[in-house]
Amino acid sequence: MEEKEFYEQIKDWNFDEFQIETEDFTNWDMFEILKSVTDENSRILDLGTGGGEKVIKYFPEYAKEIIATDFSKAMIETANENLKKSGRKNITFRIMDNLNMDVPKEYFDVVVARNTPSCPKQIFECLKPGGFLIIHGVDKYDCYNLKKSYGKGQAYDDSTPISIIDYNAVIEAGFEDAELVPLHQREYFKNENLFYKFMLKVPILEEFSEEDEGVKDFYINELDKDKIHEYVLKNTYDKGIRLLRRYYGITARKAK
Ligand X SMILES: C[S@@+](CC[C@H](N)C(=O)[O-])C[C@H]1O[C@@H](n2cnc3c(N)ncnc32)[C@H](O)[C@@H]1O
What is the contact surface with ligand X in residues (CB under 6 A)?
Answer: 7, 13, 48-50, 53-54, 70-72, 75, 97-99, 114-117
Distances (CA, A) of 248 to 20, 38, 161, 251, 254: 20, 22, 10, 10, 20
* Least distance to ligand X, CB of residue 76, Å: 9
Nearer to ligand X, 11 or 232 (CB): 11
Nearer to ligand X, 117 or 249 (CB): 117
In this structure, the number of other CB atoms found within 10 A of the CB of residue 27 comes to 6
Are 121 and 252 in contact by the 8 Å Cβ rule? The answer is no
Nearer to ligand X, 115 or 168 (CB): 115
* Least distance to ligand X, CB of residue 234, Å: 26
Nearer to ligand X, 38 or 118 (CB): 118
Are 205 and 223 in contact by the 8 Å Cβ rule? The answer is yes
* Least distance to ligand X, CB of residue 154, Å: 10
Nearer to ligand X, 109 or 206 (CB): 206
Nearer to ligand X, 116 or 251 (CB): 116
* Least distance to ligand X, CB of residue 7, Å: 3
* Cα gap 21→225, rounded to integer Å: 22
- B/e letters for 222-236, b = 16+ CB within 10 Å, e = fewer, are eeeeeebeebbeebb
Q: Is 184 exposed, middle or buried (0-12, 13-18, 19+ CB in 10 A)?
A: middle
* Least distance to ligand X, CB of residue 255, Å: 27
* Least distance to ligand X, CB of residue 174, Å: 21
* Cα gap 91→204, rounded to integer Å: 29
| Alpha-carbon 154 to chain mean position | 13
